């Protein structure tokens, strides 16, 4: 509750790591965006940590690498716009590189125009601000890391921040091996 209040979102779902949060979000995306494409692709910056790519591959997606902006090392939004015109690209993953926020409003507008969800690997982003607001309110969800090399530390773990009630519910069940609390 405190994380959700700080970030200004409806839900924060605790997970065992940022990687597991990415895996669960990508699995939820696959269920939400069932497609006839054999290996749907996700637009992702060509400079990111291996967990961003591994999690999407484990969920059955292929990366569609997009150039990064030389100044910020974040996703180049002009190249993202081009990538989203390609067949089989069903989502975009922004990465707040080193906690430096992606320009979220423009990224959201590009994804909305293309009709694809925007997910953020915000591993380094907890505590970062963008346009006067904490990073975490943009996109379908943002996934944080709480490992010792990050700004907010809990020994280990992660947090998925979202305003999507259905996604939050799905994540809470998925993180518990599909158990909705009934043990049935």
Q: For residue 113, what are the contacts with CB-CB under 8 A and spacing of at least 6?
A: none
What residues pair up with 144 in beta bridges, in sequence order? 159
Q: Between residues 154 and 19, which one has the greater pLDDT? A: 19
Asked if the model's pLDDT at residue 147 lies above 80, the reply is no
Residue 31 CB coordination number (10 Å): 11
- Reported pTM: 0.90
Asked if the model's pLDDT at residue 36 lies above 70, the reply is no
Continuous H helices in the chain: 2-7, 18-32, 50-58, 77-83, 104-114, 165-174
What integer best gives the mean pLDDT of the chain? 90
Q: What digits encode the pLDDT tens for the residues 45-104? A: 999 999 999 999 999 999 999 999 999 999 999 999 999 998 889 999 999 998 889 999
Q: Give the separation between CA 153 and CA 78, rounded to whole angstroms.
A: 34
**Buried (b) or exposed (e) across 40-65, using 16+ Cβ within 10 A?**
bbbbbbebbeebbbebbeebebbbbb
Nearest CA to 89 among 106, 120, 66, 108?
66
Report the pLDDT value the prediction gives residue 177, as an integer from 0 to 100: 82
Q: Give the separation between CA 153 and CA 127, rounded to whole angstroms.
A: 11
Q: Give the separation between CA 24 and CA 133, rounded to whole angstroms.
A: 26
Nearest CA to 105 among 131, 68, 140?
131
Please tell me what DSSP assigns to residue 91.
E
% of the chain with per-residue pLDDT over 70? 97
How does residue 42 score in pLDDT terms, banded at 50, 70 and 90?
A: very high
Asked if the model's pLDDT at residue 4 lies above 70, the reply is yes
Report the pLDDT value the prediction gives residue 133, as an integer from 0 to 100: 87
Report the pLDDT value the prediction gives residue 153, as an integer from 0 to 100: 67
């Amino acid at each position: 509750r405190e994380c959700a209040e700080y970030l200004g979102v409806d839900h924060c779902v605790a997970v065992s790591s940022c990687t597991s949060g990415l895996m669960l979000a990508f699995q939820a995306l696959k269920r939400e965006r069932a497609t006839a494409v054999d290996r749907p692709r996700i637009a992702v910056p060509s400079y990111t940590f291996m967990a961003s790519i591994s999690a999407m591959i484990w969920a059955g997606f292929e990366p569609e690498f997009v150039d990064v902006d030389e100044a910020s090392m974040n996703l180049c939004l002009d190249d993202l716009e081009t990538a989203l015109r390609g067949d089989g690209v069903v989502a975009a993953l922004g990465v707040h590189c080193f906690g430096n926020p992606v320009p979220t409003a423009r990224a959201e507008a590009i994804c909305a125009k293309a009709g694809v969800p925007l997910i953020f690997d915000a591993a380094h982003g907890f505590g970062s601000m963008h346009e006067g607001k904490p990073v975490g309110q943009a996109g379908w969800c943002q996934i944080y890391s709480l490992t010792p090399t990050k700004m907010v530390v809990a020994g280990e773990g992660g947090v998925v921040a979202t305003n999507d009630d259905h996604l939050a519910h799905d994540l809470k069940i998925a993180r518990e091996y599909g158990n909705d609390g009934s043990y049935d």
